[in-house]
Structure 1
Amino acid sequence: MSFNNSQLNMLNLRPLLTFLAVIWLLGSLGLGWLVKSLFILFALLSLAPVVAFFGFRWWLQRNLVTDKCPVCAYEFTGLNNSQLQCPNCGEQLSVQKGHFQRFAPEGTIDVTAVEVQAQSLED
């Protein structure tokens, strides 16, 4: 029974031993630079997803804007320097410098109404 278990353990080690033997053979033939470059390539491929994840998070923190719609005051999120539509009122908005602004075509004058209190003049 012990002999069968040791055979199973050796079968599990066979790919690793073969890999190490190939590396040793390449190193002894003067192709150590090939082995080193394969290790460097493997390390770069292992680090690329981690760098991409943190890079995307950094970019998202800089470009994700949460603000209120200037028309209906509904709060939602958009990307900086883009155009979008308010999900509540449907107004076309542009995101500039971290705030939502109404999007108006060139030449349109946007006017804000101000309520003025009526005053009565006495003689």
Structure 2
Amino acid sequence: MNQNSLNNLQLSITGFGRILTIIGFAWLLAALGLGWLVKSFFVLLALLLLAPVVAFLGFRWWLQKNIVQDACPVCRYEFTGFNGAEIQCPNCGEAVQVEQGRFKRLTPVGTIDVDAVEVSATTIDDS
């Protein structure tokens, strides 16, 4: 007698037989009252399929809420930054902070920031 006869035993199911086997297994589980196992498997499968979609949409919402695109208050170069972050302008190197969707220049305490206005010179004739 061959002692390896159990190792050589192979189950060969092809084509239509595979589908019938799966249907039969599901029917057996349902008949035994293990339908909750099949339902939980499908719920888990649905969660695995929906999780990346929900994560992608949540990430897009977070990006739209936290990324700000504005012009540098010093050189007017337009770039993007995260809301609430301190960054440097890539054009002039000025330190700016992103607050309420706008870039604001960071100045040391006690510095008064003014805007220069150009005034045209006119001459007054004394006659």
TM-score class normalised by the smaller sequence: 0.7 to 0.9
| Cα distance in 1 between the residues matched to 2:105 and 2:25 | 66
| Alpha-carbon distance change, 82 to 31 in structure 1, aligned in 2, over 3 angstroms | same
Aligned ranges 1:58-69 → 2 under 5 Å:
58-69=61-72
Question: Structure 1 residue aligned with 2:60, among 47, 57, 60?
Answer: 57
Considering only CA atoms, is the larger Rg found in Structure 1 or Structure 2? Answer: 2
Q: Residue 114 in 1 paired to residue 116 in 2?
A: yes
| Alpha-carbon distance change, 14 to 68 in structure 1, aligned in 2, over 3 angstroms | farther
Residues 23-73 of structure 1: CA distance to partner in whole angstroms, max 9, x if unpaired? Answer: 222212111111111111111111111111111112211222110001111
Match in the other structure for 1:96: 99
| Cα distance in 2 between the residues matched to 1:119 and 1:65 | 43
| Alpha-carbon distance change, 12 to 73 in structure 1, aligned in 2, over 3 angstroms | farther
* Greater shift in the superposed pair: 62-71 or 11-20: 11-20
Unaligned runs of at least 5 residues, structure 2: 1-12
Number of residue pairs the alignment of both structures matches: 112
Q: TM-score, normalised by structure 1?
A: 0.74
| Cα distance in 2 between the residues matched to 1:91 and 1:97 | 19
| Cα distance in 2 between the residues matched to 1:102 and 1:14 | 73
| Alpha-carbon distance change, 80 to 12 in structure 1, aligned in 2, over 3 angstroms | farther
Identity of aligned residues (%): 53
| Alpha-carbon distance change, 99 to 16 in structure 1, aligned in 2, over 3 angstroms | farther
The one-letter amino acid paired with 2:80 is T
Which structure shows the bigger proportion of residues in helix conformation?
A: 1
